[in-house]
Chains A and B, each alone.
Chain A
Amino acid sequence: MGLALTIALKDLRLRVRDRSAFILGVIAPLGLALIFNAVLGDLGDGAFTLRYGIVDQDGGSVSTQFVGLLSDLDRQGILELSYPADETEAVDLVDRSELSAVFVIPAGFSDAVSSGTAIDVRVLGDVDQPTSASIAKAIGESFSSEVRTVQLSIATALTGMAGPAGTSVDDLAARATRVPPPITVGNVAAATRELDLTTFFVAGMAIFFLFFTVQFGVLSLLEEKKFGTMARLLGAPMSRVSIIAGKGIVSFVLGAVSMTVLVVASTLLMGAQWGDPFAVAVLTISAILAAVGLMALIAAFAKTAEAAGTIQSIFAVGLGMLGGIFFPVALGEGLLAKLSYISPHRWFMVGLADLAGGGGVAVVLPSVVALVGFGVVSSAIAYSRLRKGLAA
């Protein structure tokens, strides 16, 4: 172990000298954190506000129900609701970006619902605020969908069986509209085991970048060969295990420094909520082990440092995409969602999401086991290959 540390210290000194450790371990993650802060800072501060308007041209029982629902959300601070006098004023406010979107409930809406006629709430969104507009559209579609469900239920009741004595269509419709609000916009916080947006992006980039950072340690195995120093290492009185372990230690240290800088910086600068520090540390260490193992595996089968670096980068990006850090591939039950679990990135994000619901190490244990599994299996194969294949 002493010789492995000697090799690791030499490599780290080289990385400090050529500034690559500083760039990889500090500048790059810190730069990423600052970029995220600039892009997502408002989200982290809670300054991201849904400013909606509603124009109720109907004034009936069903439209009143919808207006009441939005008013409740306004009172809860989830959105800011205003009431333009008419659609023209509403459109003007949206054009001037004073409102993100406007719901327009057309005249005759409640009657149409009662009579079973198809009718929708219209949503007019600001093109410059696509996220807010999309949320408004989703609320509108959800409400319309629920209304259709109510209509279908009533129609079924009337055609399939006799209605209760003394009930009219209007009565049934009125009852149906008194069911609990169909739309719920919850606070996506810890209790729901979901990461907030800031933490999600920062964590995603952290695990993504980790795979590039740890490359440098294991790649130096091939660089020693390229620069002729592998002959000296192999000729020295030590086992090949020490050489391989030394490189692994360098990768681990670079990964740990990078992740620590990013976690601390994102917490202080952006208010990212990583969760219980000890559990985050355990999860992060597991992720670093997985990254080191997988990158070492690629290095073990590559013939040159350049080839290894290229393949490692492709894998890092591919696993990141599959793991859902760029696109929500993990949503749903499809094949891609299942496949996402072959990516360490997915397990890391799952672990953090679990941690967001509260708790400590026990909560992240499944992810830790999976990540350590990645690390152990890939490291074992890489070690076996490298031990036999190390050559001057």
Chain B
Amino acid sequence: MTVLEVSGLRKRYEDLVAVDQVGFSIESGETYGLLGPNGAGKTTAISMIAGLLERDAGEVLVGGEPVTTKSIAPKAKIGLVPQDLAIYPELTARENLAFFGKLYGMSRSALSARIDDVLTVIGLVDRADDRAKEFSGGMKRRLNIGIGLLHKPLLLILDEPTVGVDPQSRNAILESVEGLAAEGMAVLYTTHYMEEAERLCDRVGIIDQGVIRAEGTRRELVEMVGEKDRIHMTATGNLADVLVALRGLSGVTEASISDHSIDLIASEASRILPTVLATAAGTGAVVSSVEVIEPNLEAVFLHVTGKALRD
């Protein structure tokens, strides 16, 4: 069953087109990832999908019903987990859940039982009656997610839910999302972490400058890059000169700089690696580390946008 259908989504702020012709769909039980760097248009897109933000063009259907900022019933099918913590610090975890549950029209008896379930899922049973302001960052993030799950939505939208979270809490969050998808929930997950997209998402849309540049399963996307590997090296010196020199090498198809590192997409990376290092050294640069990485979503991002994901 198709839970979310998005087509022709567009949003413009004066001269800036934040989202342009974005379209995709998500089936129940599927996790769809929007992968892109900060400022790519992910949050703007999901704000329109969740009915928070007026759109200039396009259509959003959730469970077959159109969603706009004025919609009421269709919004009950959506669970939203905003990027910023959206909880009340002075309320306890249980009170936070109860308040938002009431807004979704849950009856008192159903709410009470469901709150206990959600507290179990997010691992806050023991802290249910503590005020959220006393929680660690990770616990607050989990509560933030729990609120989105409370009313058993058809579609759960998570906007970069692991930003600023410690590794242990991040893993707990990712496990929760995997569990929800396994139960049949459709999940729209935005992130700029390639690892998260690779681990969680059945399909990924690579978004940059408001446009979805590529879309598909991980295998489909990686096939776009072909059998090419990524060479990631850190170096000091004039990296711009290094980049120009490396682009001229046979077998290098893409090259980009970010911070103090250079990323290359190359055929038979292991074979040309000595040439790459020699070329870099020839420009006067000092290479401090080098890594050959088999094709992944980051390589795909570099391939389709011409720049590294963390740019």
Contacts and interface: CB of A to CB of B under 8 A. Distances in A.
A391 B50 CA distance: 12
Interface string B283-305: 00000000000000000000000
B248 interface: no
Contacts of B52: 231, 234-235, 391-392
A129 interface: no
Contact of B102 (A6, A14, A227, A235): A6
Nearest to A226: B84
Given A6-B99, A6-B102, A6-B103, A18 B88 contact: no
A14 B86 contact: no
Contacts of B73: 237
B100 interface: yes
Given A17-B90, A392-B47, A392-B53, A236 B82 contact: no
A229 B87 contact: yes
Contacts of A228: 82, 84-86
A235 B51 contact: yes
Contacts of B50: 231, 235
Interface string A114-151: 00000000000000000000000000000000000000
Interface in A180-238: 227-229, 231-238
B103 A3 contact: yes
Given A14-B88, A232-B82, A392-B47, A238 B53 contact: no
A13 interface: yes
B86 A231 contact: yes
B91 A238 contact: no
A239 interface: yes
Interface string B202-233: 00000000000000000000000000000000
Contact of A235 (B75, B85, B91, B131): B75
Contacts of A235: 50-52, 75, 78, 80
B164 interface: no
A235 B72 CA distance: 9
A227 B100 CA distance: 15
Interface in A230-263: 231-239
Contact of B88 (A10, A236, A237, A239): A10
Interface residues on B, range: 20 to 34
Nearest to A2: B102
A231 B51 CA distance: 10
B150 to A, nearest CB: 11
Nearest to A9: B99
A244 to B, nearest CB: 14
A10 B99 contact: yes
B104 A236 contact: yes
B76 interface: yes
B105 A229 contact: no
Contacts of A237: 71-76, 103-105
A385 to B, nearest CB: 15
Given A235-B51, A238-B103, A392 B82 contact: yes
Contacts of A18: 90
Interface in A9-37: 10, 13-14, 17-18
B129 to A, nearest CB: 13
B69 interface: yes
Given A6-B99, A392-B53, A231 B72 contact: no
Contacts of B147: 232
Interface of A: 3, 6-7, 10, 13-14, 17-18, 227-229, 231-239, 391-392
Given A227-B88, A231-B50, A233-B103, 9 more contacts: A3-B103, A10-B88, A13-B90, A17-B131, A234-B51, A234-B69, A235-B52, A235-B80, A391-B53
19 contacts: A3-B103, A10-B88, A17-B131, A18-B90, A228-B85, A229-B87, A229-B88, A232-B82, A232-B86, A232-B100, A234-B51, A235-B50, A237-B71, A237-B76, A237-B104, A239-B70, A391-B53, A392-B47, A392-B82
The 5 closest A-B pairs by CB, nearest first: A228-B84, A237-B76, A236-B103, A235-B80, A17-B90
